[in-house]
Amino acid sequence: MNIFRLAGDMTHMFSVLVLLLKIHTIKSCAGVSVKTQELYAIVFATRYLDIFTSFVSIYNTFMKLVFLGSSFSIVWYMRYHKAVHRTYDREQDTFRHWFLVLSCLLLALLIHEKFTFLEVLWTFSLYLEAVAILPQLVLLQRTRNIDNLTGQYIFLLGGYRGLYILNWIYRYFTEPHFVHWITWITGLVQTLLYADFFYYYFLSWKNNKKLN
Amino acid sequence: DIASQHHDEL
């Protein structure tokens, strides 16, 4: 464990907690894409399949449970909680995300480190996570302005993988033959997808005006 | 082995 990875995990945890808090307290999911939340639930479900078979540490297992629990409860709130579901913007959240799932699955079957069930699904989860934010970013461009909790959620979510990149650089230089091209490339693509969001988020913060 | 090594991240 290094400071970059810990910072990354904390940033990631705060992002899901910010969103869960927003939905739970003000009973609103305005501006939030349920498709991105569903993709993230699939990402965690397919990445943490080994949660019971391979024990890494208490921290690792605890965080896996936090991410699984939060992503599935956010989807549950947005799909089945009456008050929250009413604030869901169905007309605008129209990204065909099942195509993302299918193409990532095909890609994982083609490009992976080892052709085993767990490894292919783990690779699939990396590909899917890289593009999971797309429905949310598309929805963002359609809704005029977004409330700052949703903005903070996206900012933290985009930042966590950027911190992971620093963690991979650190591990590359400190651990012999720590090389994982698939993880690195997907992590880089994922972070780059947030580039223009970060730009506008920074502008709104600098000029102290609403993000739109 | 490799698998356990890189599956130590979230």
CB contact under 8 A, A67 and B10: yes
Write out pLDDT tens, residues A83-121: 999 999 999 999 999 999 999 999 999 999 999 999 999
Q: Which amino acid is at A43?
A: V
Write out pLDDT tens, residues A11-49: 999 999 999 999 999 999 999 999 999 999 999 999 999
For the residues B1-10, what does the mean pLDDT come to? 65
Best probe of the B interface among A16, A54, A182, by most B CBs < 10 A, is A54
Chain A residue whose CA is closest to B6: A180
Output the six-digit token pair for A39: 């993709």
Residue A211: other Cβ atoms inside 10 A: 20
CB contact under 8 A, A60 and B10: yes
**B10 vs A9, A50, A114: nearest CB:** A9
Give pLDDT, residue B6: 57
Write out pLDDT tens, residues A53-81: 888 999 999 999 999 999 999 999 999 99
Output the six-digit token pair for A85: 């579901």
% of chain A at pLDDT higher than 70: 100
Q: Name every chain A residue with its beta carbon within 8 A of the beta carbon of B6.
A: 113, 180, 183
**C-alpha to C-alpha distance for B7 and A119, rounded to whole angstroms:** 9
Residues 6+ apart with CB under 8 A from A169: none
Chain B residue whose CA is closest to A55: B8
Q: What are phi and psi of A127, to 5 degrees?
A: -65, -45
> A197, A180, A157: which is closest to B9 by C-alpha?
A180
Q: If you search the block for the tokens 């730009």, which residue do you land on?
A: A199
**C-alpha to C-alpha distance for A175 and A66, rounded to whole angstroms:** 28
Letter string b/e over residues A2-36, b meaning 16 or more CB atoms within 10 A of that residue's CB: eebbebbbebbbbbbebbbebbeeeebbbbbbbbb
CB contact under 8 A, B5 and A178: yes
A148 pLDDT band, cuts 50/70/90, is confident
- Does residue B1 sit at the A interface (CB-CB below 8 Å)? no
**B8 vs A9, A56, A118: nearest CB:** A56
Write out pLDDT tens, residues A162-186: 999 999 999 999 998 889 999 999 9
CB contact under 8 A, A12 and B10: yes
Q: Closest approach of chain A CAs to the CA of B9, in angstroms?
A: 8
Burial of A124 (0-12, 13-18, 19+ CB in 10 A): buried
Residues 6+ apart with CB under 8 A from A68: A41, A44, A45, A48, A51
Give pLDDT, residue A209: 77
